[in-house]
Structure 1
Amino acid sequence: MPVVFRFDGFRFHFYSNEGDPREPVHIHVARAGGDAKFWLFPEVEMAYNCGFDARTIKRLQDVVASRRSEIEEAWNEYFT
């Protein structure tokens, strides 16, 4: 599972086996006790959340939005 970056104890990653056909660009965020998934386009949007409170989700969504181009670049590098 390629890790794109770590931030404040969270791991931002995607899975090398993202389905067939592959899902659109997204990022998984994990930390002990929780994980979430965010779509990047057309806007950053939470796909699912398991274990994070609303405040944490908002913070994670902001991080994903601010680093969206970095995430997309890592995705395209890995899958193309």
Structure 2
Amino acid sequence: MAQAFNKKVRPREFSPSDLVLRKVLHVAPYSRGKFAYKYDGPFIVKEVYDGGAIILNDMDGNKNALLVNVDALKKYYH
């Protein structure tokens, strides 16, 4: 079963300066239920590490670096 599943999985490739959206992993206390946003962003990829860790920066260029796993990101196309 694992072999059949792994055949269909496409690896996500990110490089520095890519624009990405980050999945909202928590429920805010005053969220809008099913109408709440599913993704935050866009963010800029600052650094990519082996094992699926990525450091993100704001679009404003702030130094608030967020360490995020690859499975919580998707590419942003504008």
**Larger-Rg structure:** 2
Settle same-fold status: TM greater than 0.5. no
Normalization by structure 1: what TM-score?
A: 0.30
Whose relative contact order is higher, 1 or 2, with alpha carbons under 8 Å and at least 6 apart? 2
More helix by share: 1
